[in-house]
Amino acid sequence: MDINPELCLSLASQACSNDWNSDDDDEHKSSPRMVPCLLCGQVAVTYDFEGNVIKQESSRVIKALGYHNEVFKYLCKSLKLDDDNDDDGGNSPWDFENEPFPFCESCEELLDSLVKVYYKLEEVEKEIKERIVGAEGKYVDENLYSNLDGRYKRFRKRALESGELCGEWIEYTCVCLSSVITK
């Protein structure tokens, strides 16, 4: 198969300059526009020339309200990206409530797995936090800190004072103090 370098350059130039839907190009206006999957590049969404969705490759187009935004949040988190909805390039932010989710079926299945992992991680983190907060009374009441080196106290103090546990720790401390005061 011979590759025409001029055609490749022309197509690349059009793709980079977003001229696919320009008013000057009736040939491209009358053909469907295909949007690639944000992850793998396979076709994710096909639009007709008026901008209506003809086909979305994912079989799970209908999701609970807000689900796709949550999936995107976890994707950004897993890639160590800030929420990519703060676009500084002049584009509108992602709005998955009103536009198709730009992922093919295979990648959406992968993203669903990612969400399940994050849900499980959040459950485990919650359990760890509850144990740290719940055990502080035991550490104090049984004077456990005095029998241990300073690393225990420093670690637990930092964990309890972290933004994640601070509210729970204050609430726990108030409950403990009120029970001591009423005795």
Domain ranges of the chain: 17-116, 123-182
Which residue bears the tokens 């720790």? 169
Per-residue pLDDT at 179: 47
Which stretches of the chain drop beneath a pLDDT of 50?
1-24, 61, 174, 176-183
Round to whole Å and give the CA distance between 70 and 155.
32
- Phi, psi dihedral angles at 53 (to 5 degrees): -70, 125
Per-residue pLDDT at 85: 58
Per-residue pLDDT at 68: 85
Confirm if 103 and 58 have CB atoms less than 8 A apart: yes
The packing angle between helices 163-182 and 150-161, to 10°, is 100
Per-residue pLDDT at 23: 47
Per-residue pLDDT at 43: 84
Per-residue pLDDT at 104: 87
Task: Classify residue 53 as left (phi > 0), alpha (psi -120 to 50) or beta.
Answer: beta
Predicted structure pTM score: 0.60
- One-letter amino acid of 94: W
